[in-house]
Structure 1
């Protein structure tokens, strides 16, 4: 299965013409809005996954029960099979509209696991956490050990973002994408993200922009995992969203049965 993140630029498209097996939404964008268009997506007989941006798992603020109850109600309304958020901090006193890394330490793994367990207790179902892009970080553990420890302690699932691994590899040269995947328990992966990124000369770093086609190497790794593990792939294209023809071509290239 291959899906696409549903963005506002797609509202005027014919949903039947989008060559996706499922859609993904940012639930925060729909909690206070008319959701008729989401039910139109569901009427095309394709599920909607929910991927959030403000759970702030890496932060220290009190878990917002009212917000989670809204998320739970939306998930029930859409019959969404998954709800996920980022393994990152997004602001305590205020939503910072960015994702900040968590130090890779055992103490932080334990703290974050407790926060995830609290979230899951309120929701009544397991969530998935996404491995994040990070531009600087500290810690005593490798990223994969850190993630595996949280998965074990919390009982949550993993939203495996292949593009984020590729960006981190290019910027930090610590671990390759194939090796990262070998060190992760793929039985715990709910689905995968792929996207494009750009090099920014100002910072001499690759930036996770979600504004370009998926790199061939990222695409092929995702397709291989999808074929072997039967794990869905989700295309993210959040900025400079192209035409439906470009999106559909990306989706065709991501089909596990396709070859280059």
Structure 2
């Protein structure tokens, strides 16, 4: 990093409220903390990440517009600019996530804790809404969240639900799962319907095999959680969907977040609620 860039970062950090939990979370990432962000900086919006070359950005933007359940865009950078001021005054997309995934030809080749060495002047960053935002509302209504109770990442699965394609972007929807008692599941539908910009209501309840999940004990991303006999699995569209699409398209280069390790923004969850 150049001395000018360091000076700019110091100025940005000084301008940010260092006492804010969201800023503290990002600064922890810069210091090398690389753990799940579930339950971190409660009250603040978290986001999934997809970074693509400018030549693919328009097609990906269209893909997100056509698939708003799994891919609701909450922020987007200018070409070559690692900042997204609308999401955080001092935010640097190259350093402020716990862990990233670098993709080449549709395969993950590296999982670094920053992407300074991979940043290019032609890259565009997209931040996509995350279900961690509506989890706060569920917890406030005394609906338990199993992966938070277990201290693990939310389980996520590729499904047989096809996304609407745009350019090279096509593939299956990814879903996240939370086991709930039926009464809690009904309430969860009502609550999460108020948060369309972070996936909204569930896309499926009950039998996992009917959406192409062969073994619910073996998630494609994240960690397995126990499902009690009096519970049903509840599935929400998930912002990891772009990673399944990047793999299917075998893109020559892309960067994403590592599933479950999100960008913490300065937006408040309550700002996203639809009354």
Scaled by the length of structure 1, what TM-score is found?
A: 0.23
- Point out the structure with the larger helix share: 1
Considering Cα pairs closer than 8 Å and 6+ residues apart, tell me whether 1 or 2 has the greater RCO: 2
- Point out the structure with the larger strand share: 2
Scaled by the length of structure 2, what TM-score is found?
A: 0.22
